[in-house]
Structure 1
Amino acid sequence: MPRIPEPRTPGRVSTTRQLERQRAILRAAGRLGAEHGLERVQMSEVAHTAGVALGTLYRYYPSKHHLFAAVLDTAVRELPHPAGVSTDPVTGAADFLSRAIGELLRHPHLARAMLVSMNAVRAEKSASPVVAQDYSMPERILAAAGITTPTTEDHRLARLLEQCVYGILTWTTAGNLTTDQAMADVHRACELLLAPWRSSR
């Protein structure tokens, strides 16, 4: 019976040259994912497009799911910050998420690849001590809401909202919701889930 390999932690970037390689890999994956979707993208094609050796690609990202989860993490981190802090935390979070969804849904194939991959990486993380990619959406939600010293409950609400948004995006990329419906659902989710932020601030 063949031996099932243990999940491996993605390599960490420590030099400028490594950072440049990583950026090239993520750009290549984003471009190919937008064109072809997750299933049709080959790791060898990503390496060739990025101008790196296949072994280098696998050192940073041991699977295609790790790669596209990192593309999502980078996309979230690079979303522009609000010009100012909203006076209403619910509105601030809703506006940020609307921009995020609009940006992600510009490339539906890529959006689905990223969502499927993040879910797979998280499942792997829960089943083993392997540290998956850092995911920054809850922190961005808190920042957009103007919550600078979040409590445990604040983190929980941001996480619940993230889970809801993930479901909305999954339905939308599967063709079960229009972009307008997704936006409306996100705003409604913010109103319902984040109501405690209005009453406590």
Structure 2
Amino acid sequence: MRVSPVVPGGLEGHPGLNSVPSQAAPGVRTRSQHQRRKRIVQAAAALASRGGVEAMQMRTVAERAGVALGTLYRYFPSKMDLVVAVVGEEIDLLESSIERRPPNAATPAGRAVDVLMRATRGLMREPELADALIRSLIITEVDTPFGDRMAGLLLRAAVPGLTAATATEEQFALTGSLSSVWVYELLEMLRGRRTYEQTQRRIEIAADRLLAEF
């Protein structure tokens, strides 16, 4: 789950266009803030990929991102808020991948499995980061949209056109349960208790049962 900011040129400061700077400035500031937040999240992810959550010390993240410590705390009041942001970035990347290359399995369960195993491969490229994020999700007291976002993503993959807004409560609950199974199996894989093949097989079994009526 990267576009550089485009700063308008030529018009700002032009003597005949005195109103333009005041109108453009908020947008420029917004882009600047967005890019600064991106740098912080990327710095945190890079540190976690080498040493887990323990390596994500706020001062170290600020130094790596090139921002003042006070600025970092304005964006992320705590380390767990930062962890949640890194998780969100990973989901953004997964959603982009699904949009570019939608799963083409013949069944809803098969398409959901495709999404989850694609996510698994992506996370396992950085096992330290994956371990840090999964463990943090389990213990965090910070409100995170991870479960709902994954459930919504699985809904859209399983049945094209279906969304969290149009799905039944049961459908949303079932994809949420499948997401929970995936998190557990991924954690077992990170602990060395599952091979990739075993993880995939268990997720396939769960998907076939949970999404049988889709």
Deviation, 1:171, is: 1.2
- CA deviations on 1:114-145 (whole Å, 9 max, x unpaired) are 11222233xx25xxxxxx23322111111111
- CA deviations on 1:99-128 (whole Å, 9 max, x unpaired) are 00111111111001111222233xx25xxx
- Report what 2:157 is aligned to: 144
Deviation, 1:161, is: 0.7
TM-score by length of 1: 0.80
Contact 2:103 2:114 in 1 (8 A): no
- Report what 2:175 is aligned to: 158
Q: Which runs of at least 4 in structure 1 moved beyond 4 Å after TM superposition?
A: 84-87
Structure with more contact order per residue of length (Cα contacts < 8 Å, sep ≥ 6): 1
Aligned residue pair count: 176
Deviation, 1:20, is: 0.7
- How is 1:56-95 mapped onto 2 (pairs within 5 angstroms)? 56-79=71-94, 80-81=97-98, 83-84=101-102, 86=104, 87-95=106-114
Where in structure 1 are there 5+ consecutive unaligned residues? 1-13, 126-131
- Report what 2:9 is aligned to: none
Q: CA RMSD in A?
A: 1.9
Contact 1:65 1:120 in 2 (8 A): no
Deviation, 1:37, is: 1.2
Percentage of identical aligned residues: 35
Comparing 160-169 and 40-49, the one that deviates more: 40-49
Deviation, 1:49, is: 0.7
Residue 39 of structure 2 aligns with an amino acid whose one-letter code is A
- CA deviations on 1:168-189 (whole Å, 9 max, x unpaired) are 1111122222223222222222
- How is 1:166-185 mapped onto 2 (pairs within 5 angstroms)? 166-185=183-202
Give me the whole-angstrom Cα distance separating, in 1, the residues matched to 2:82 and 2:152: 21
Where in structure 2 are there 5+ consecutive unaligned residues? 1-28
